[in-house]
Amino acid sequence: MSLIVQKFGGTSVATPEKIQSAARKAIRAQQEGNQVVVVVSAMGHETDHLIDLAKQINDEPPAREMDMLLSTGEQVSVALMAMAVHRFGYRAISLTGAQMGIRTDNSFTKARIKTISTERIRKLLDAGNIVIAAGFQGVDDDFNITTLGRGGSDTTAVALAAVLGADACEIYTDVDGVYTTDPRLLPEARQMDLISYDEMLELASLGASVMHNRSIEFAKKFDVPIRVRSSFSDAPGSMIVSIPESHSVPVSGAALTREEARITVQGVPDSPGMSYEIFRRLADRKITVDMIVQNIGMEDRADISFTIPNNELKEALRAIEEGVKVTGATGYTYDDAVAKVSVVGLGMANQTGVAEKMFASLASAGINIQMITTSEIKISCLVQRSEATAALRAVHQAFSLHNKPVDANEWRIGQANAGTQSASEIVDRLSKSNLEQLTLLDISLLGDQARVTLTGVPDTPGLAEKVFREVAQAGVFVDMIIQSCDGYLGETSISFTVPEEQMSTCLDVLGKTGYNFRKIGGSTDIAKLSVSGIGLRSHTSVAIAMFKALADEGINVLMINTSELRVNVVIEGKDGQRGLAALQKTFAGALV
């Protein structure tokens, strides 16, 4: 008998009528011959209300008690949903996270799932029940209630679908599916029929709140096809599946993280281990760091800038104060009024001009780019928060995301690679003792790269565009781009990598532009180390473990970029092999 997991989000269970309508959907699925597990979120904005309530009592409530409180939201809705099913004359049993054996680690408010025992759920299903499972919660080894992080019910649903080997996982929500960007921000956003796991993972982690990013890690690891659809219509929605890179457009979606904050640690001694000392303290607090940019050092000191979620700023600054003391850095600055706009697309990995187009669109909207980081499948720019929506609109327009790509129909849902391996085979291959454990796929060394660095770049709208247009016109393939902020005297610096044999062409072109850079430098003596896997940015430990492994070898990190698929670091060429060996040793146990 086939098994289906249906998840209903907050708006889909916001009122008694909506709960009844969700219950009908579950009953219909059972009548069609499926065993049905229903995962529910707290009603409406209940989680927000509970957080408000807690803050009225204590503005920094203990995380354990927070989870005790927040889990009640889902407990209310499972009970009501089960009552609704009974009312229509069918059998249902509600279960909390603990009752269905969802074991997590003990990082309260952002716990990761370790194991799920399926026996009880299976028994209840076999006895003809619809099982109503509380989303977003679990229990640690000491029976403390934990929660998985905001939006975590999606992760509960996909995790249950994975371990139960479900035939389908349907996410019912308040929009018709996955759009090219948040349709509430841009009405011109277009709903997609299909999107790949990799793109959805990256978009979710960069602000597309329609799916919890960690649910996509599960889906990709365990090959769970997901359908995102509306609770309020019968429209088919969007499928999230595995799609080959060759069938992907350069940019398939755009996302905004409106509540971002930027921190710059100034005057960090430019020697091995310093970044590690700083980022380790953030990772210990499970703060996800993004857009890490290091100015190429002046007088043996560097400025390191990065972004974090704005609601973690207080905690992050505590970590930074310690880090500044330990490293002997000169100080730090921060900006809590910034937003991050990103574009994502699997096809951008082998296309030139994508970055330039994004910079050009922001320039013509008169928006200054404060920081830039790129990786194989995404480009992020940091802008002032007041310009966030305008920035999103500009890039959405520039890549014509409102228009369906011409070849989009060629890749049909039936061809999408869903379920090539049975879930149980995959679960067997991966660790059963830790479902959300880090999964690494490859560690590699690329030696034929060169680095180009422009120092003293005037911080004005449009400059990044001009630089990359000239470079692209000369046929140079630009890979990692990072642009820092907060430079000296209103200046920034831009570094990027190019193929070794194109470095001199690139330097020539830049020398002739007539822009007043203080310095144009380049080095072919670099090596790029890459660690690839699933969910690498949200597993904060990966970049940290890389920093540590390299620091222990006395190797200096020159550039870094991160995405959910890969963390790349650029180091000096002479250190390449030693760096590779250090990473292989560090990550030996995590490779699958």
Half-sphere exposure of 500 (CA within 13 A, CB side): 10
Residue 225 to residue 238: CA distance in whole angstroms: 10
Closest distance of CB 512 from ligand ASP, Å: 53
489 phi/psi in degrees, rounded to 5: 50, 45
Name the nearest CA neighbour of 292 among 355, 358, 368, 373. Answer: 373
Stretch that binds ligand ASP, among 125-133, 144-152, 371-379, 574-582 (CB under 6 A): 144-152
Give the pair of three-digit tokens for residue 146.
Answer: 């934990």
Residue nearest to Mg ion (CB): 151
- Binding partner selected for residue 182 from ligand ASP, Mg ion, ligand ADP, none, CB under the kind-specific 5 to 8 Å limit: ligand ADP
Round to whole Å and give the CA distance between 98 and 180: 36
Contact 140, 148 (CB under 8 A): no
Cα 450 to the chain's mean position, in Å?
Answer: 28
- Sole window of 46-54, 175-183, 333-341, 414-422 interacting with ligand ADP (rule: CB under 6 A): 175-183
Residues in contact with ligand ASP, counted by CB under 6 A, come to a total of 13
CB of 150 to ligand ASP, least distance (A): 4
Q: Name which of 438, 257, 215 is nearest 344 in CA terms.
A: 257
| Interface pattern 151-190 for ligand ASP (x via CB under 6 A) | xxxx------------------------------------
Extract the tokens encoding 499.
Answer: 């193929």
Q: Which residue has the tokens 């708006």?
A: 11
By CB under 5 A, tell whether 151 contacts Mg ion: yes
**Contact flag: residue 253 with Mg ion (CB under 5 A):** no
Min dist CB 413 to ligand ADP, Å, is 18
Nearest distance in Å: CB 8, ligand ADP: 7
In the range 24-83, which residues lie near ligand ASP by CB under 6 A? Answer: 41-42, 47, 73
Contact yes or no for 92/82 (Cβ under 8 A): yes
Q: Which residue of this chain has its Cβ atom nearest to ligand ADP in the complex? A: 9
Q: Is 207 in the site for Mg ion (CB under 5 A)?
A: no
* Residue 43 contacts ligand ADP per CB under 6 A: no
Which residue, 289, 197, 340, is CA-closest to 544? 289
Q: Which residues contact 505 (CB under 8 A, 6 or more apart)?
A: 474, 475, 476
Structure tokens at 172: 């019912």
Core vs surface per residue 319-349: b (16+ CB within 10 A) or e: bbeebbeebebeebebbeebbbbbbbbbbbe
> Which of Mg ion, ligand ADP, ligand ASP, none lies near 332, with the C-beta cut-off 5 to 8 A by kind?
none
Cα–Cα distance for residue pair 217/332, rounded to 1 Å? 34
Binding positions for ligand ADP, 177-206, rule CB under 6 A? 178-179, 181-184
Among 136, 197, 306, 517, binds ligand ASP (CB under 6 A): 136
Nearer to ligand ADP, 9 or 405 (CB): 9
Is there binding between residue 9 and ligand ADP (CB under 6 A)? yes
73 part of the interface to Mg ion, by CB under 5 A: no
Q: Nearer to ligand ADP by C-beta: 50 or 507?
A: 50
Q: How far apart are CA 413 and CA 218, in angstroms?
A: 20
**Which amino acid makes up residue 187?**
P
Note whether 243 and 194 are within 8 A (CB): yes
- Longest CA–CA span in the chain (Å) reads 79
Task: Identify residue 452 by its one-letter amino acid code.
Answer: V
CA dihedral 207, 208, 214, 215 (to 10 degrees): 170
Q: Which does 506 bind (CB under 5 to 8 A by kind): ligand ASP, ligand ADP, Mg ion, none?
A: none
Residue 420: burial class (beta carbons within 10 Å; 0-12, 13-18, 19+): exposed
210 counts as binding ligand ADP under rule CB under 6 A: yes
Nearest to ligand ADP of 75, 173 (CB atom): 173
Q: Does 150 sit near ligand ASP (CB under 6 A)? A: yes
Q: Which is nearer to ligand ADP, 210 or 544 (CB)?
A: 210
Between 209 and 271, whose beta carbon lies closer to ligand ADP?
A: 209
Which residues, numbered 121-160, are part of the site for ligand ADP (CB under 6 A)? Answer: 151
Q: Which is nearer to ligand ADP, 173 or 495 (CB)?
A: 173
DSSP-assigned letters across all residues of 22-84: HHHHHHHHHHTT-EEEEEE--STTHHHHHHHHHHHH-SS--HHHHHHHHHHHHHHHHHHHHHH
Q: Which is nearer to ligand ADP, 15 or 31 (CB)?
A: 15
Residue closer to ligand ASP by CB (options 219, 354) is 219
Judged by CB, which is closer to ligand ASP: 113, or 394? 113
Binding pattern for the stretch 8-37 against Mg ion, x by CB under 5 A and - elsewhere? -x----------------------------
Q: Does 41 bind ligand ADP (CB under 6 A)?
A: yes
Residues facing residue 82 across a β-bridge: none
Q: Which residues contact ligand ASP by CB under 6 A?
A: 9-10, 41-42, 47, 73, 135-136, 150-154
Q: Which residues contact ligand ADP by CB under 6 A?
A: 9-12, 41, 151, 173-175, 178-179, 181-184, 208-210
Q: Which residues contact Mg ion by CB under 5 A?
A: 9, 151
